[in-house]
Amino acid sequence: MDTKLTLSLDKLIIEQAKVYAKSNKVSLSKLIESYLATLTNRNKSEIEITPLVKSLSGVISMDENRDIKDDYTDFLIEKHK
């Protein structure tokens, strides 16, 4: 059941949001509802891994003795020479 809500927002933000909503063919109310649903439904303890990312897992193998921090330090030294 939908319930009416009154918000006080900056006029420029409202205008920009209306343009964004219109360009995405969605009402401003649905846009805000979707945003709030996203904020409130997040499970902070678990990050969702998409099927694409899962399929890429394990594609690259690395030497277990390799120190990634040393590699990054070497990269930065080279970059800023």
| Angstrom distance (rounded) from CA 63 to CA 66 | 5
Q: What pTM does this model have?
A: 0.49
Quickly count: other Cβ atoms within 10 Å of residue 32's Cβ.
15
pLDDT digits (tens), the chain, 81 positions: 889 999 999 999 999 999 999 999 999 999 999 988 888 876 555 677 888 888 888 777 777 788 888 888 999 999 998
Residue ranges per domain, the chain? 9-57
